Amino acid sequence: MQVFCGPLHPSLNSPCPRFIKPRNSFERPRKMALLNRDQILAAEDRKTEEVDVPEWGGSVLVRTLSGRERDEFESSTVRTRGGKREENFVNFRARLVGLCMVDESGERMFKTRAEIDMLGNKSVAALQRVFNAAQRLNGMTDEDVEELTESFDETPDADSISD
């Protein structure tokens, strides 16, 4: 089917033809193969990056979080006390670094709350360097952190249904 897109094209003094091919609702131009469930689950999609930490005398491996780990981390920034939601940014950097820092076999190096608390006592310069890498690898921007805290700045309206 040939469709004309308007008046005469000024330089050609003729109609500007555009050809349209009918498409079903599932058809789309493909640049990559369409994956199935098993292929998705088998894909090695978590990146690891080596980060130099001169304060600690070497380097560490920082890995991206899984979707579940990211959700758990974000939900850990909120706690409920007496029916009120409060921010929980205590040891924020160490908690993220503890989730992302892995050994050569890909296992987390800091697994317990006590270990993460000890990590939080390390130099802020070193911790920040690793935190920045973890934040960048996981697509966590400053805007993401602001979004996590936005709801705490608002007071519920009298019309709010969440009370």
- The pLDDT value given to residue 23: 53
In the structure, what pLDDT confidence band is assigned to residue 152 with cuts at 50, 70 and 90? low
- The pLDDT value given to residue 129: 97
Q: How far apart are CA 42 and CA 15, in angstroms?
A: 52
Name the range with the highest mean pLDDT among 22-31, 87-96, 146-155: 87-96
pTM of the model: 0.69
- The pLDDT value given to residue 19: 46
- The pLDDT value given to residue 86: 86
Integer angstrom CA distances of residue 88 from 69, 117, 129, 135: 17, 14, 22, 18
